[in-house]
Structure 1
């Protein structure tokens, strides 16, 4: 749970700075957020969560 909240905060900050630098339009940001929301409710959510967990567990071992 803590990892999920951290990743949401990081991606939220990246999105915020992209919007402030005009590298990303509000329409594109809305589309990306919607895509992520709907992707989380599909069968792809489990493999994505497993991949994220594996990468985060591997970082301390580098």
Structure 2
């Protein structure tokens, strides 16, 4: 639950900066879509959440 809340806040902040800059292209559009799916309770939401959890786990496993 902590990871999902952090991801929602992070993506929300990124989305706010994108809208403020007034530039919406393919990459920012993807961020906006992910933000929408995280907030929505659709059938696709658990799959997207699982993907984001796997990405977060993969990033945390990287050793520098």
TM-score > 0.5 by shorter chain = yes
Segments of 4+ in structure 1 off by > 6 A?
A: none
TM-score in terms of structure 1 length: 0.63
Specify which structure has the higher proportion of helix. 1
TM-score in terms of structure 2 length: 0.62
**How many residue pairs end up in the alignment?**
54
1:15-34 pair list within 5 angstroms: 15-24=15-24, 32=32
Q: Which runs of 5+ in 2 are unaligned?
A: 25-31
Partner of 2:9: 9
1:59 shift after superposition: 1.0
Q: Which has the larger radius of gyration?
A: 1
CA RMSD of aligned residues (A): 2.7
